[in-house]
Structure 1
Amino acid sequence: MTVTIKHRVIIAGCGGMANTWVDYAKGRADTEIVGLVDIKEQFAMAMAERKDLTCPTFTDLKQAIIDTGANIVFDVTIPSSHYTVSRSALELGCHVFAEKPLAESMGDCVDIVRISELAGKTHAVMQNRRFDPRIRAYRNLINEGTIGKLGFMGADFFIGAHFGGFRDAMESPLLLDMAIHTFDQARFIGGADPVSVYCHEFNPPGSWYAGHAMAICIYEMSDGSVFNYRGSWCAEGVPTSWEASWRVTGEHGTAIWDGLGEPYAEVVAAGDQSGNFIRNYERVKGKLVDMKHTFHQGCLDEMFASLEDGRKPETDCSDNIYSMAMVLAALESAKTGRKVLVADFMDIP
């Protein structure tokens, strides 16, 4: 049976992360990779040879779109290029599926959302940690009212990551390069957006980073709950999962996920416990969600499905901008030493 090619894809950026995106596109019968773009064309040519692609290579994205008739651009470029790539692709009529972050400044993030809406095209951001059967089980456990109305959400992220390279020289490596994942997870789990943040970032003893590799953030959320993030990229010993370690407390109990195993909750047991100093609890297990693909592939599945369904994807730029606001407002708070109101911070002309 012949399958109609619906999606003509250009890969912008041919570094290591692009491999996953290329493999995914090659695996879709309705998708064709029609061009590879990199500022260093030899990188694009090397990718074409490595992945057995016969498409042309380019150093200019606009020319690539015009020459190939592409309708989707995969933006796997460095963060500082995301705004330029997104704007060019959207204005030339392409949907954009992009690696995080949405952009490096709030003004650029707001502009991408505006351009996407004016163009009537999708701009979706890779938030692969949403697409995990365990986090979806955790979210469902909470959203079903198992622990009642939420009051507090806490996430601990402690990893001793010896990357070398550009991260070691960044001013705020944890908040700028990694925290977006945990912040987006918090919005996903709790279903609320940030209202304000106070953040203190610092570089603890023993750190091999030039910039601040540790941060403590306190967010007030739109449902009235508080989200507390404690993170470090230079914590040696007893590491957490890369998915973070979570505790969410509600009016009837607490939900736990260590980022490794399966989530569960402990809730106040039924019956009269009026005389008990510490109540008796019963455990409720989360139910894993059946998913065809997970993580990067799962997120890409959702992006393509949204086009088929004529709807915004789960990680559309108009939603993801609130996760980016958590990052950028936290950096502003750390810089100024004061609590930042997110609505004010996002009010960019």
Structure 2
Amino acid sequence: MRDVVLVGAGPMGEAWIDTVSRRDDVRLAAVVDLRPDAARDALGRRGMELPVFASLDDALAAGSADIVLNVTIPAAHLAVSSTALRAGVPVLSEKPLTETLAEGLELTALSELTGTLVATSQSRRFSRGIIAFRDALRPYGGAAQLSARFFQNPRFGGFRDEMDSPLLRDMAIHTFDQARFLLDDEPTRVYCEEFSPPWSWYRGAAAADAVFGFAGGARFSYSGSWCADGLMTSWNGDWHASAAGGSATWDGETTVRVQASDEPRTAELPDAAEGLDGALDEFLTALDGGAPPSGEVHANIWSLAMVEGAVASSATGRPVEFAELFADAHARAVAAAPSEVAAVLRAWSEPAPRRA
């Protein structure tokens, strides 16, 4: 049985409380939130009484922890995950890994320095639909041209309405990470334009079009909006992939269609844990000696880089090369990181980390 400390008791924190509670090999040991009453309310709605703390330092000092779930706002991700890693406690974090790519590189180096696992829960990788979509393309050598449309209209209120680049920074990372999963490759280049339709209620740009080039030659195009009233896509988007000799589509939910030279067919969905359950299952398997989770920091930082690259391209009006993006972030990380972490960064053979 592993003890879990949850940091962040907002709506996603509550979803993680329920996810942990469904398992018999982990248990929630404590909850941390800057608003202790909010944490107590979340627990009380579930008939649970557990220790509540205002800081992770206090929680770690008061009891045992085998896993930290970091469900704080992005601006707090580096500080919370770093505290856990320095205490030797593995971290499963909500996306994004950190708020910036430079911070992500610092956290990657700290994970190496401490020898402690940190991974991001990219829960939208864990759906039966996306697995069937990926598997349907394998007989044709994988996709060479991949596209995703994402059109939704959430009215969250709060910080998202005031963010710069709310679509790219808060939501598109899911779709970008799914593209990496489907292509099993890393991006090399991106061109992106952000904009807002005149009816948008967001301060920042709430729509974007982007094209990514990948190392193996594939292209991924993204078109999205967070203020699209009517005819909305799934929260997983609507996908089309072309490969040598065949194509496939995925509606973002449960329908995967495949066609080669014959009639179109519907692919069968595999049995698989989905969402947060799948992300936690994969993380625990890694702690038990299995393969690194797909969201392990060395790999997942590339999804964060796709966001930062798209935002940078939109700001400059030109394509962004990922080699340049990582070189700049690496220099900023070395300048900002504690000396022992900066030493790890300087020892890397290249600015961009590679999958463990």
Query: Do Structure 1 and Structure 2 share a fold, with TM-score over 0.5?
Result: yes
CA distance in 2 between partners of 1:233 and 1:16 (Å): 20
1:221 is the counterpart of 2:201: no
Residue equivalent to 1:243 = 236
Is this contact kept in 1: 2:68–2:92, CA < 8 A? yes
Residue 154 (structure 1) shift? 0.7
Matched residue SS, 1:103: coil
Query: How many angstroms does 1:284 deviate by?
Result: 4.1
| Alpha-carbon separation, structure 2, partners of 1:174 and 1:36 | 29
What's 2:321 paired with?
341
1:32-47 correspondence to structure 2 within 5 Å: 32-47=27-42
- Tell me the SS of whatever aligns to 1:183: helix
**2:301 maps to which residue?**
321
Question: Counterpart of 1:290 in structure 2: which amino acid?
Answer: D
Q: Which residue of 1 aligns with 2:227?
A: 234
1:60 positional shift = 1.8
CA distance in 2, matches of 1:106, 1:340: 14
CA displacement at 1:318 relative to structure 2: 1.3
What is the percentage of aligned positions where both structures have the same residue? 39
**Richer in helix (by share):** 2
Query: Structure 1 CA distance, aligned partners of 2:3 and 2:146?
Result: 42
CA deviation profile, 1:20-42 (whole Å, cap 9, x unmatched): 21122223222232221111222
* 1:118-161: CA deviation from partner (whole Å, max 9, x where unpaired): 2222212111111111110000111232xx45321111111122
Distance 1:261 1:29 in 2: 29
What is the correspondence of 1:266-285 to structure 2 with a 5 Å cutoff? 266-267=259-260, 269=261, 281-285=262-266
Distance 2:10 2:107 in 1: 23
Structure 1 partner of 2:144: 151
Residue type at the aligned position of 1:341:
E
**Partner of residue 196 from structure 1, selected from 177, 180, 189:** 189
Indicate the SS of the match to 1:20: helix
1:181 maps to which of 167, 174, 180: 174
Answer with 39-48 or 17-26: which moved more.
39-48
Task: Specify the alignment match of 1:112 in structure 2.
Answer: 107
TM-score scaled by structure 1? 0.90
Does structure 2 retain, via aligned residues, the 8 Å contact 1:303–1:313? yes
Task: Give the SS at the match of 1:150.
Answer: coil
Name the counterpart of 1:126: 121
2:47 is matched with 52
Asked whether the equivalents of residues 175 and 331 of structure 1 are also in contact (C-alpha less than 8 Å), the reply is yes
**Structure 2 match to 1:275:** none
The two structures, once aligned, show a CA RMSD in angstroms of 1.5
In structure 1, the gaps of 5 or more residues are 270-280
Shift of 1:225: 1.0
What SS does the corresponding residue of 1:304 show, helix, strand or coil?
A: helix
The structural deviation recorded for 1:115 is 1.2
Residue 273 (structure 1) aligns with: none
Instruction: Tell me what 1:304 maps to.
Output: 284
CA distance in 2, matches of 1:261, 1:133: 7
Q: Determine the C-alpha separation between the residues in 1 that align with 2:42 and 2:147.
A: 41
2:81 aligned partner: 86
2:274 — aligned with what? 294
Cα distance, 1:330 vs structure 2:
0.5
Mean CA deviation greater in 195-204 or 299-308: 299-308
Equivalence map 1:245-260=2 (5 Å) = 245-260=238-253
Give the Cα–Cα distance (whole angstroms) in 2 for the partners of residues 215 and 15 of structure 1. Answer: 28
Q: Any conservation in 2 of the 1:203–1:214 contact (CA below 8 Å)?
A: yes
The structural deviation recorded for 1:210 is 1.3
Could you tell me which of 162, 171, 175 is aligned with 1:169? 162
Could you tell me how far apart the structure 1 residues matched to 2:5 and 2:110 are?
Answer: 19
Query: 1:278 matched to which residue of 2?
Result: none
Tell me, yes or no, if structure 1 residue 11 matches structure 2 residue 6. yes
Give SS of 1:231's match.
strand
Counterpart of 2:204 in structure 1 is: 211
Q: Does 1:141 align with 2:136?
A: yes
For 1:53 and 1:119, how far apart are their aligned partners in 2? Answer: 33
Distance 1:161 1:33, change over 3 A: closer
1:308-346 deviation digits (Å, cap 9, x = unpaired): 134311211111111111001100111111111112211
- The answer to whether the 8 Å contact 1:140/1:286 transfers is no
AA paired with 2:98?
A: A
Structure 2 residue aligned with 1:73 = 68
- Name which of structure 1's ranges 321-330 and 122-131 shifts more when overlaid on structure 2: 122-131
AA paired with 1:154? S
Kindly provide the amino acid, as one letter, of the partner of residue 176 in structure 1.
Answer: R
